[in-house]
Amino acid sequence: MTDTPLLHVDMDAFYASVALRERPDLVDEPVVVGGSGRGVVLAANYVARRYGIRSALPMARVRRLCPHVVVLPPDYDTFTTVSASVMETFREVTPLVEAMSLDEAFLDVRGSVRRLGPPEQIAEQLRSRIHDEQGITCSVGVAWSVSVAKVASRRAKPDGVVVVRPAEVTTFLHPLDVGELYGVGEKTRTLLHRASYVTVGDLAHTPVPTLQRAFGRHLGAHLHQLAWGTDRTELVPQAGPHEPERSMGADETFARDTADREAIVRELLRLSARVGGRMRAAGVVGRTVTLKVRFSDFTTITRSHTLPEATDVTVEVHRAVTRLYDALGLRRERLRLVGVRVEGLVPRTAVQRQLVLGEPEHGWEEADRAVDRATRRFGSAAVRPASLVRGRGRTNESEIFPGRLP
């Protein structure tokens, strides 16, 4: 029985690392992945981080911090594919995998040590295999509890392993700033500092009732557990090998605020195609389509519509969000950002699409999959809706793909 059965495996600068696989010439340059113009940073490589660049930073701020930064567009299909491969590698080590996002997961390896060796050896095997197979690096924290493993993986970055045994928890955790604790965000950190709790040790040596009076019954008790590394030690693994996301979406910030319906509808088409492609790659469909719009004053609203049947078809998603946009009745209001999201995702194999009398044998589903095959082989720019190629003009369903389609 091992005393450090939990691994937290976290990909290093995942989106940037995946994007740089095709651009080895940029490995030593500051690189960010994200939207151009007034978009924000999705991920920054470690060279860019030296300039103070972090995720969610506006691109205008990024260019002030580092004028020579290289901005690469996100390729969500590739990110999803790489993530699925990494998660499958985890499940070959142990079925007890609790995925937290595309690029991180907890693993319980207590049932694997007889076959693969001690947890720290398994961690090194995973790092080596992910690097060899995916061309990216990861960091691993090894500990008895979830929170300590998470903190350990942060301290291991980039491309390292940190093992914290139960007897070492206090010397490892207590000197750290309270903001290092798993789940303690910036707001909670500020609140704790104002109350004179600066280090984890300050929390650990405060009686639980005192913390509960200051921060509430639940939070006070939880903070005390985190400070001693006595939070949960059991994982909640997903039921299937690839548990789908509950929703998928994409948004885009315009280079200039616009009230031009044609430009907005074209962007909604671009986003619908992106989301549809990600759904098809993940093998999921959804019924609820959501439109997000952000005005010039940063006011943001969303509108949703539930379709009669679940879909992953670009045309159907685009038709739904366009109707939602038109229903807003906007005339002169200028938009800063638009977004498309499909929610309530389920495996495509679990849904039988209803047959419609008189429906052509080949339609938009086949067209989407033909586009997917072309983009996988020739790149994302190989095939795109005709209206997006021209960049102007009326957008309608007959323009989305060339040819005689319904």
Name residues whose C-beta falls within 8 Å of residue 346's C-beta, 6 or more positions apart in sequence. Answer: 244, 284, 285, 286, 310
Distances in Å between the Cα of 256 and the Cα atoms of 37, 38, 74, 136, 337 are 9, 9, 21, 36, 10
The set of catalytic residues is: 104
Q: Phi and psi at residue 171, in whole multiples of 5°?
A: -70, -25
Q: Are strands 161-163 and 138-143 parallel, antiparallel or unpaired?
A: parallel
- ω into 73 cis (within 30 of 0): no
What the block records as the tokens of 307 is 């379709």
Are 400 and 305 in contact, with CB atoms under 8 Å apart?
no
- Helix and strand totals (H; E) in the chain: 17, 13
What the block records as the tokens of 355 is 């047959």
For the stretch 295-299, contacts whose Cβ atoms lie closer than 8 Å and that sit 24 or more positions apart, written own/partner, are: 295/333, 295/334, 295/335, 295/336, 296/257, 296/333, 296/334, 296/335, 296/336, 298/336
Q: Phi and psi at residue 85, in whole multiples of 5°?
A: -65, -40
Are 210 and 197 in contact, with CB atoms under 8 Å apart?
no
10 in a labelled binding site:
yes
Number of residues in the chain = 406
- Alpha-carbon span 323 to 312, nearest angstrom: 17
- Alpha-carbon span 136 to 11, nearest angstrom: 8
What the block records as the tokens of 155 is 């301290």
103 in a labelled binding site:
yes
Q: Quick one: DSSP state of residue 95?
A: S
- Alpha-carbon span 285 to 313, nearest angstrom: 9
What are residue 366's DSSP bridge partners?
none
Known binding-site positions? 10, 103
Known binding-site positions for Mg(2+)? 10, 103
